[in-house]
Amino acid sequence: MDQQEWERSPLRLNLIEDSVKRAQAGVSKIIYLPQTGSTNQVAVDLLAEGNSEFAVVTDFQSAGKGRLNRIWEASPESSLLISLAFKLNAITNLGWLNLWAATIARRVLMENFNFDITLKWPNDLVVATPDAFLKFGGILSEIHKEHVIFGIGINYSQDHSELPTSISTSIKLQNANFVAREFVIADLISNFHKFWNLDTNCNQFPAKAIMREYQAASYTLGRRVVVTLPSGKEISGIAVALAENGALMVRNEKGEIETITAGDVN
């Protein structure tokens, strides 16, 4: 690995735009901000001003958001930080939005990089190790009136000392082949657009194929888990399946099935 390749510099918007144009995915607007609070918040503001489908990218967020009011932390120019807005339609299975987005992000990253990615329910991109997992990306899907905003945060070139937890990693730390940040961002934007348009024009969203792809890539299914619900209550058991609405079904110690729509799985 050539260390120089991973050195930090501001995103070159023209490279992203040219690459997205070549992919002909019909993306009209890409907004680049050298820094901002949260790209998802910028997207909310743009929707409120009447914009419909667009991408927001940045090099640094001072108030990056995770789920359930948590924080997404990333040092400047170290990450892929993107928000994409799409119009929802009547067939969208809302419980699957996070899972759909994680599946597409995984697909794109595995086409770009030479390491294996699994998906921790509902929204984490992780690398499985023999007895644990390391998180390097997450999705925050937010519904705003008739739109969904997919916030994508992926650790790209962080070193160990910059990572927020002992169970985090980055693409670079996986000894991945080098692909410039702009090209990975462009590929994510193009493919999210391409597959959103394809998948929302079927008679079911997500298509059965996406559901199968998510399940096959799942780190969680089949494992013994402890789920912490937003209320603080804990459920222990085996993650046995996904419900039609994307919820996680856990067989608890009493043998009963508990269906979980939001929570943290460990």
The residues that touch ligand BT5, with contacts defined as CB under 6 A, are: 38-40, 61, 64-68, 70, 72-74, 81-83, 123-124, 135, 138-140, 151-153, 155, 164-165, 168
- CB 247 within 8 Å of CB 258: no
Alpha-carbon distances of 198 from 188, 195, 204, 216, rounded to whole Å: 15, 5, 11, 21
The amino acid at residue 199 is D
Q: What angle do CA 78, 142, 83 make, to 5 degrees?
A: 35
Q: How far is the CB of 214 from ligand BT5 (least distance, A)?
A: 16
User: Which residue, judged by CB position, is nearest to ligand BT5 in the bound state?
Assistant: 138
Question: In the bound complex, what is the minimum distance in angstroms from residue 228's beta carbon to ligand BT5?
Answer: 12
Q: Is 254 exposed, middle or buried (0-12, 13-18, 19+ CB in 10 A)?
A: exposed
Q: Nearest-CA neighbor of 142 among 35, 45, 33?
A: 45
Nearer to ligand BT5, 81 or 250 (CB): 81
Q: Which is nearer to ligand BT5, 64 or 246 (CB)?
A: 64
Give Cβ neighbours of residue 254 (< 8 Å, ≥ 6 apart).
Answer: none
In the complex with ligand BT5, which residue's Cβ is closer, 153 or 206? 153
State which residue, 24 or 129, has the beta carbon closest to ligand BT5: 129
- What is the rounded distance in angstroms from the CA atom of residue 218 to the CA atom of residue 222? 9
Nearest distance from C-beta of residue 7 to ligand BT5, angstroms: 19
Residue closer to ligand BT5, measured from CB, 232 or 255: 232
CB of 83 to ligand BT5, least distance (A): 5
Write the CA distances from 228 to 2, 207, 214, integer angstroms.
41, 29, 22
Least distance to ligand BT5 from the beta carbon of 126, Å? 9
Number of neighbouring beta carbons within 10 Å of residue 76: 13
Q: Residue written as tokens 């657009």?
A: 193
Q: Provide the minimum distance between the beta carbon of 53 and ligand BT5 in the complex, in angstroms, as a whole number.
A: 17
Nearer to ligand BT5, 60 or 251 (CB): 60
Cβ proximity to ligand BT5, 57 vs 221, nearer residue: 57
The CA–CA distances, whole Å, from 14 to 18, 89, 109 equal 6, 32, 21
* Distance of closest approach, residue 4 Cβ to ligand BT5, in angstroms: 23
